[in-house]
Chain A
Amino acid sequence: MAVAAAYPGTPSTEILESLARYPGVYAEWSPNEKVALEVAMGASYGGVRAMAAMKHVGLNVAADPFFAASVTGVRGGLVVVSADDPGLHSSQNEQDNRHYARFAKVPLLEPSDSQEAYELVKLAFQMSEDFDTPVLLRSTTRVSHAKSAVEYDDETSIPPRKPGFRRDFAKFVMIPAYARRRHPLMEERLVKLAAFTEEFPYNRIIWGERDYGIVSSGIAYHYAREAFPQASFLKLTLSYPLPEKLVRQSASQVGKLLVVEELDPFLEEGIRAMGLPVSGKALFPIVGELDVEKVREGGARIGLSSPSSPLPVSGIKELPARPPVLCPGCPHRGLYAVLKRMGFFRRRDGAGEALPPGQLIATGDIGCYTLGVLPPLEALDTCACMGASIGQAMGLAKAGLPNPIVAVIGDSTFLHSGLTGLLDTAYNQGRLTVIILDNRTTAMTGHQHHPGTGVTLQGLRTRAADPASLAQAMGIEMVRVVGAFDLEELEGALRECLEHQGPAVLVVRSPCILLDRSYGEALSVQEGSCVACGLCLALGCPALYRDAEGGVHISPTLCVGVGCGLCLQICPREAIIVPGEGE
């Protein structure tokens, strides 16, 4: 492959991080998934092999070019990787992206482990070129973030394709007159693919006992093999279009077909549409991840396996949970303290009532800072999808509410899909403040570069886009830039923005503490002065804790020192000491 593009997203991020190290591959972090797929499309049109990789919800962003690529077809092989996240380990939903294959009329590959993923990518490129189609390779968290051994070939055995653009208006320019001619070609392509999938060697039958034939794909296949070691299997790998003959062949030789698949009844509905009796979701859950136990449980209901659930252990449910938290020294923490001072107030008894005038509404976005919704910070009202905070804030502002409105968005998310939302606030003059938490990285997914950092995925120095200048260029008159750790300054700047009659932008700029590890010496609590009021604990800093007797302390290993110093500013008793500054 010659070109690969992506925007980071769990569990897909590592794909581009690995490709970036391959000689001869141009790999980029694109500002978002739509651009990434368009870059891959362009490279394919230019005759070379190209890949765009994204998490499941990224394909929603890239859906427009995805459908377009299906219509135009390709020149060089074009593979789109969707890393789905059943169980929502790190996502806002658990949509099943296999539907996208049927929706856009492209072939679907579902690897079940690392070895298959490796082999299928190679086949996917070949299929893409042979059938003039993008190919969707759909993985899930337990394939993406599982590791198993891979035997690999000599990569140099595939000669790179020579770049060359062959002009073809009727193929690449999708005006209605030309696009109309492409649709029948797409339907013909599906017919050819349906024949191809019958012979596809990774779609295979494993004969065992014949009472039930288990149809499965992806990681669910391995759960089912472990749960039903004696059963017959039809393992589907090229699972759209379905290999109808192969399905009928298995059905004719077993008592009943049983589909084991994660999330939606995608295979099940396809098989039922063939007129074959089949069950699946009646036995196995549609919600969440599957695992061997859930599959055994479903099988036990029809006598195919015995349920394996071991006796529960008492006391586990009562153990205190450990949700993720903002790190000690995180530059996002101060903002939430300020939002509360400025009128973000959560009344625990006021559920269901409209917020009184003056109380702040804060729309949120996707990144580490979304953790600001968890106790004890609890200062975010929404989180939907990348960039949504700004449009939502605009809608709230135009709905006629008596409340001041802020949108909270990170730098990488702002550059991903906040720009157009901000343009709307400037164009249609929304009375709101967009707070850009500029920590100079894409922190949540593991510190990837983005257009604002000045460095590319492959390590080249480049231009850094500046959020404040972008806002000014869009016509926003009130733009303030402040550091993240001076609460008074932060509050003053936010007050100015909120008092402004039109749209305002507040850039809160301090690098992620995990990037800038210039930690100082830990602060400490002076026991005589501290009254254990707990105001500092409300910052939700993991370095601050209460002991069993109620006393408050600072962990010397976790505290990053005076460079953060939020607790120092919050403490009304001046009971927190900076080392070396005496008592």
Chain B
Amino acid sequence: MDFLIAGVGGQGVILASDILAEVGLEAGYEVKKSDVLGMSQRGGSVVSQVRLAEVVHSPLIPRGEAGYLIGLEKLEAARWAEYLIPGALVLVDRTSIPPPSVSLGQAPYPSDGEIEKILRERTENIYMLDARGMAEGLGSTRASNVLLLGYLSHFLPIAEALWQECIARSVPARYREVNQRAFAKGRLEAANLERRER
């Protein structure tokens, strides 16, 4: 299983992928993950790649092979569309953070329609969500990353307890509760949504 988590520096991409990697290890997979750090931390694009399998060689996912994409920001999600395998599961927070050229009025921020069109060239399995808003309702907009993990978890064959355990280990004590609630909320939302769709 190959996962991409994309967002903007400071949004919690790395924490989310750390948790996912921990969960994978605990569930018995070989896990490799690769982050881009350094210059990108200063508000630039950030992506983390996580691979779970019996044997993992490359820590980088080849284009066209990622089965899962979590976008903490819409534009950043679209940027990675080429990496998706046909039919991949895409979870995107509706948050938009304008890059410099947009702030300066030199380029338009792509519309929701344009973003979905790009993603739809690979998959129809796209969920545009208000993760940030839901996390805010729980007490912290910053927990949107973990809320999306909760959402993702509904589609993976890994027990909820394992996720909650890894979140507890990875998040500082004072943010633990809000993150655990965010995870549970995301997981529940995914179940409800799927039920409605049926």
A544 near B117 (CB under 8 angstroms)? no
B44 near A325 (CB under 8 angstroms)? yes
Stretch of A23-31, A56-64, A131-139, A219-227 at the chain-chain interface? A219-227
Q: Binary interface profile of A, 307-325, with partner B (CB < 8 Å = 1, else 0)? A: 0111111111001111111
Is B165's CB within 8 Å of the partner chain A?
no
Is B67's CB within 8 Å of the partner chain A?
no
B59 near A11 (CB under 8 angstroms)? no
B56 near A376 (CB under 8 angstroms)? no
Residues of A contacting B25 in the complex (Cβ-Cβ under 8 angstroms): 149
Interface residues of A in 96-133 (CB under 8 A from B): 113
Residues of B contacting A376 in the complex (Cβ-Cβ under 8 angstroms): 100, 104
Residues of A contacting B33 in the complex (Cβ-Cβ under 8 angstroms): 146-148
Interface residue from A148, A309, A323, A375 paired with B31 (Cβ < 8 Å)? A148
Most buried by A among B9, B62, B79, B102: B62
Interface residues of A in 325-382 (CB under 8 A from B): 325-327, 368, 371, 374-376
**Given A10-B37, A149-B25, A316-B82, A291:B60 Cβ within 8 A:** yes
A222 near B57 (CB under 8 angstroms)? yes
Residues of A contacting B45 in the complex (Cβ-Cβ under 8 angstroms): 321-322
6 A-B pairs, CB-CB below 8 angstroms? A145-B35, A148-B59, A291-B60, A291-B62, A319-B79, A537-B105
Output the nearest chain A residue to B34 by Cβ-Cβ distance. A146
A321 vs B60: C-alpha distance in the bound complex, in angstroms?
21
Q: How far does the Cβ of A292 sit from chain B's closest Cβ, in whole Å?
A: 4
Interface residue from A145, A291, A308, A545 paired with B103 (Cβ < 8 Å)? A545
B63 near A324 (CB under 8 angstroms)? no
A296 vs B57: C-alpha distance in the bound complex, in angstroms?
14
**Given A319-B75, A534-B105, A89:B38 Cβ within 8 A:** yes
Q: How far does the Cβ of B107 sit from chain A's closest Cβ, in whole Å?
A: 4
Q: How far does the Cβ of A555 sit from chain B's closest Cβ, in whole Å?
A: 9
A313 near B58 (CB under 8 angstroms)? no
Output the nearest chain B residue to A557 by Cβ-Cβ distance. B141
A142 vs B59: C-alpha distance in the bound complex, in angstroms?
7
Residues of B contacting A445 in the complex (Cβ-Cβ under 8 angstroms): 38
Interface residues of B in 95-129 (CB under 8 A from A): 98-105, 107-110, 114, 117-118, 121-122
Interface residues of A in 531-581 (CB under 8 A from B): 534, 537, 540, 542, 544-546, 548, 550
Residues of A contacting B81 in the complex (Cβ-Cβ under 8 angstroms): 313, 316
Residues of A contacting B99 in the complex (Cβ-Cβ under 8 angstroms): 320-323
Is A520's CB within 8 Å of the partner chain B?
no
Is B139's CB within 8 Å of the partner chain A?
no
A310 near B63 (CB under 8 angstroms)? yes
* Number of B residues with CB within 8 Å of any CB on chain A: 52
Interface residue from B44, B64, B108 paired with A324 (Cβ < 8 Å)? B44
A513 vs B79: C-alpha distance in the bound complex, in angstroms?
29
Interface majority SS on A: helix, strand, loop or mixed?
loop
A148 vs B9: C-alpha distance in the bound complex, in angstroms?
23
B57 near A308 (CB under 8 angstroms)? no
Is B169's CB within 8 Å of the partner chain A?
no
Q: How far does the Cβ of B161 sit from chain A's closest Cβ, in whole Å?
A: 21
Residues of B contacting A428 in the complex (Cβ-Cβ under 8 angstroms): none
Is B170's CB within 8 Å of the partner chain A?
no
Q: Binary interface profile of B, 65-88, with partner A (CB < 8 Å = 1, else 0)? A: 000000000011011011000000
Residues of B contacting A277 in the complex (Cβ-Cβ under 8 angstroms): none
A279 vs B53: C-alpha distance in the bound complex, in angstroms?
32
Is A90's CB within 8 Å of the partner chain B?
yes
A310 near B64 (CB under 8 angstroms)? yes
Interface residue from A146, A368, A540 paired with B32 (Cβ < 8 Å)? A146
B42 near A315 (CB under 8 angstroms)? no
Residues of B contacting A314 in the complex (Cβ-Cβ under 8 angstroms): 118, 121
Q: How far does the Cβ of B187 sit from chain A's closest Cβ, in whole Å?
A: 25
B104 near A546 (CB under 8 angstroms)? yes
Interface residues of A in 403-455 (CB under 8 A from B): 444-446
Q: How far does the Cβ of A374 sit from chain B's closest Cβ, in whole Å?
A: 8
Q: How far does the Cβ of A485 sit from chain B's closest Cβ, in whole Å?
A: 19
